[in-house]
Amino acid sequence: MTRSTIALLAGLGSLVLSSCANVAAAPQAAPPQSAEEALRPYYATLDTNVPQANAGAQLDISRAISRIAFGSCNHQNRHQTIWSTIAAHNPELFLMIGDNVYGDFGYRGEADLGTFAHAYQLQASHPEFIAFRNQVPMLASWDDHDFGPNDSGGAFSFRERSEQLFESFWRSSDAVRARPGIYDSVMIGPEGERVQLIILDTRFFRDPLVSLPYSAERRPLGHYGITDSPDATMLGAAQWAWLAGELEKPADLRIIVSSIQLLTDAHNYEKWGNMPLERERFYRALAARNGGGMVVLSGDRHSGAFYQATPEALGEELWELTASSLNLSFGEGDTGAREPDPIRRSGFYSDENFGMLEIDWAAGEVALNLRRSDGESLHAERIRFR
């Protein structure tokens, strides 16, 4: 070995040692604190051109509104004929209550949520849906099947990707995009005819539900029990704080959108009653509102029904209309015999259906109507709100 070779090797050795010293001295990046944080670099590499619904009609919040349609449980693979029926009732706004697509159809746990993106892409392509959006403004919440797997909640590791897909498809407002979760509030109309829409997110922050003990017998009405844990949350701290602020705003009528049912305790599927302390907290928050009547709209159940109760923590009568499903019914006619319920004020209709809410400002009344997919009324109620 020549002296020049020895000198070259010595120089390289010094350079390597110097580099190792620098590496050793460099600060180490903190490890990710959650699966979500670990996934963010990966999600940043994905195609950001995610599916979007057509731009559609815009809601004029300066004008009083009197006709709102709503529904839930719309499968992207099934017929879309109900949209023309709803449009024929001339709603000024349509609310998607949840399960607006079934992104978990064929889902096998992939982090990119490819089946969810495909579901949105297919829904966006349906001519009936495009035509409806061109005619009627739409606002949306989500439920489990367009959020994640069946009955999923805040423990779903890929919820940030799910939120990105939802907010892109539904063209969510800047306010919604700026915070975790998809909860929203919209104030419509002038003083004296002011409607506040409060659209809750019962998925992104919700703690896991408590399962009932195993039984060899089939459970036709669900398998979730109740938890009395004071730490269990439905909405999460940030959404609770936001809700308190929204309820401080004056309104003449407040329409509360919850993807899952609020009032009933007649089944063991997902519902607010699985977390009774959270439900009591919600009633107290509503009781402390700055005026205005209220009505609750919900979905999820693949059946439609009216409910009325006077919760002690609320101290006043409250009506809820569940409208479900738009195109994925699991039966037909009144199937209420399988689910006796002392607070249900109608049949339990398994036909494909949608809901209509009509405001009579002069009389201070709301007309609620559950309509079958052919437009026929299944049940109607008229409720005073002032």
Per-residue pLDDT tens over the stretch 225-253: 999 999 999 999 999 999 999 999 999 99
- Does the pLDDT of residue 364 top 70, yes or no? yes
Query: What pLDDT does 217 receive?
Result: 76
Residue 256 β-bridge partners: 198, 296
Q: What is the pTM for the complete model shown?
A: 0.91
- Model confidence at 26, in pLDDT bands (50, 70, 90)? low
- Does the pLDDT of residue 82 top 50, yes or no? yes
Question: For residues 150 and 107, what is the distance between their CA atoms, to the nearest angstrom?
Answer: 10
Residues of the chain with pLDDT > 70, as a percent, come to 92
Tokens 């017929």 belong to residue: 79
Selected from 2.60.40.10, 3.40.228.10, 3.30.413.10, 3.60.21.70, the CATH number assigned to the domain covering 59-384 reads 3.60.21.70
Question: For residues 144 and 101, what is the distance between their CA atoms, to the nearest angstrom?
Answer: 10
Angle at 259 between CA 255 and CA 264, to 5 degrees: 85
DSSP 3-state assignment of 38?
helix
- Does the pLDDT of residue 11 top 80, yes or no? no
Question: For residues 281 and 352, what is the distance between their CA atoms, to the nearest angstrom?
Answer: 33
- Model confidence at 151, in pLDDT bands (50, 70, 90)? very high
- Does the pLDDT of residue 197 top 70, yes or no? yes
Question: For residues 199 and 226, what is the distance between their CA atoms, to the nearest angstrom?
Answer: 24
Please give the average per-residue pLDDT across 91-102, as a whole number: 98
Please give the average per-residue pLDDT across 177-204, as a whole number: 98
Question: For residues 206 and 203, what is the distance between their CA atoms, to the nearest angstrom?
Answer: 5
Handedness of CA 297, 301, 302, 304 (dihedral sign): negative
Query: What pLDDT does 75 receive?
Result: 98
| Chain mean pLDDT for the chain | 92
Query: What pLDDT does 219 receive?
Result: 67
- Model confidence at 372, in pLDDT bands (50, 70, 90)? very high
Name the pairing type of β-strands 93-96 and 67-71. Answer: parallel
Read off the pLDDT of residues 241-286 as tens digits, 9 standing for 90 and up: 999 999 999 999 999 999 999 999 999 999 999 999 999 999 999 9
- Does the pLDDT of residue 17 top 50, yes or no? no
- Model confidence at 5, in pLDDT bands (50, 70, 90)? very low
Question: For residues 271 and 258, what is the distance between their CA atoms, to the nearest angstrom?
Answer: 10
Please give the average per-residue pLDDT across 107-129, as a whole number: 97
Question: For residues 71 and 253, what is the distance between their CA atoms, to the nearest angstrom?
Answer: 20
Q: In the numeric block, which tokens belong to residue 324?
A: 């479900």
Decide which of 17 and 39 is more confident.
Answer: 39
Q: In the numeric block, which tokens belong to residue 361?
A: 């400002």
- Domain borders along the chain are 59-384
Please give the average per-residue pLDDT across 79-101, as a whole number: 98
Q: For residue 37, report the phi and psi dihedrals to the nearest 5 degrees.
A: -65, -40
Query: What pLDDT does 21 receive?
Result: 44
